[in-house]
Every structure is written in C-alpha cells, then in structure tokens.
Amino acid sequence: MRARIAIKQSGINVELREITLKNKPSHMLTLSPKGTVPVLWVGEGLVVDESFDIMLWALTQNDPNGWLLNNNELLLNEALALVEMNDNEFKGHLDRYKYSVRFPEDSEENYRAKGETFLTLLENKLMKHDFLMGDHFSLADAAIAPFIRQFAHVDKAWFDQSDYGRVKVWLTNFLESDRFTSIMKKYAPWVEGDEPTYLISS
C-alpha cells in the first residue's frame, strides 16, 4: 500500500503485477527468494523488496511535493527515526494485537496497550501540526498511516471511542484522500502473457 502511494506520488510509470501469495510466480522468487511482497524490479540487477525502501527509491527519483521534507537533514532524520519506530517496535505490537490468538502469552488488551505508546507519541505530534512532520503531508505520514489503519480496525469500536482525537482526524483525512483511494483499485492476479498493467497511466 505505502509503496504504491509513493510510486504514484513520484509519477514513475511502473508495471504492476498483482499476485496471490499461494501461487507466487517463479520470476518473482528468482528476483526475491524470500517471497514476500512488494518486490520492485528496477532492472540492471537492482531489486528492492522492502516497502519503505521502495518509497525512498521512488521519491529519490522524483519528489514533486517535497515528501522528503525538501532534504532538510534534521527533519528527514527525525522522520526516518519515526518510521523506524513504526516498522519495528510498533509493528511488533500491532501483529500481536491483530493475531493475539497466536500469541497466548499475553492478552489482546495488553498488546493493544503496548501499541498505544506509539499512538500517544503521534497524538502529541499532531497536537502541534496537522501532519506528523509539520504543516504538510510527508514521507512519515504516508509510511505510517497504513499501519495505524490496521491498528484501528482490529477493534474499530474501541478505536472510535478512544482519546486519540487528533490521530483519528489525521487517519480519516488520509483514508478519504485521493492519494489513498487512488491506489486501492483491485487488480486480477497476473499470469504470464497478460497485457501490462501500469500503476501510473502513460
């Protein structure tokens, strides 16, 4: 999801091959033997198979709206640190919260409470600005919002009545934005011989 958002934002014309994880194409496994998605094949031996790395690759090629914070080193490092916290610490709590039945050593409520530490951090940031790094949507918002969406939907009733008012507004604005809705189109799984489908129309 976030890789698609960044690619679309950059304006790069990328061929999209939707797959089912139960039937992974051999070419994909040749490019990235770990067999997870997304996988970006740039050509000339370059394969990028982590979603955040794909975001950075795309925006480094073209960043028309300054999502890399106009290369302000201080702000960009702060954004990268926030995304790292999301991708490591928070995502671990999120996975256990979503699939608590697989992790019986603790309760769903306790896994949620651990994840709330990150929500509190975001809430405090959003008390100062409309977006995580200031007054404009940036890399940090695009990289983190899809995971907050997952967290919110584990128990939507709980999230809706929670005290994270600014996070809820920020998330709603993201989910209703064209940058999100435009990448949520469903595609049929790709098979050898299909006509190319592009994420960005030519």
User: Which residue carries 């040749």 as its tokens?
Assistant: 30
Q: Do 115 and 174 reside in the same domain of the chain? A: yes
Structural domains in the chain (count): 2
E-state strands within 38-150: 40-43, 46-48
Q: Give percent of the chain above pLDDT 70.
A: 99
Is it the case that residue 192 has pLDDT exceeding 90? Answer: no
Residue 178 φ/ψ, nearest 5 degrees: -65, -35
Q: Examine the domain organization and report whether 106 and 161 are in the same domain.
A: yes
Least-confidence region, from 125-129, 184-188, 196-200: 196-200
Task: Give the pLDDT score at 25.
Answer: 87
**Overall pTM surpassing 0.85 (yes/no):** yes
Q: What is the pLDDT of residue 201?
A: 53
Listed residue (115, 112, 129) closest to 166, CA to CA: 129
Measured from the Cβ of residue 88, the count of other Cβ atoms closer than 10 Å reads 9
pLDDT at 202: 41
Whether residues 74 and 174 share a domain: the answer is yes
* 73 plus 154 within the same structural domain: yes
d(CA 123, CA 40): 33
Per-chain mean pLDDT for the chain: 94
59 and 90, same domain (yes or no): no
Give the pLDDT confidence score for residue 127 in this predicted structure.
Answer: 97
Q: Are 202 and 14 in contact (CB under 8 A)?
A: no
Tell me which residue range forms the domain holding 104: 69-180
| Stretch 45-60: mean pLDDT | 94
In whole angstroms, what is the distance from residue 145 CA to residue 86 CA? Answer: 10
**Res 43: pLDDT:** 81
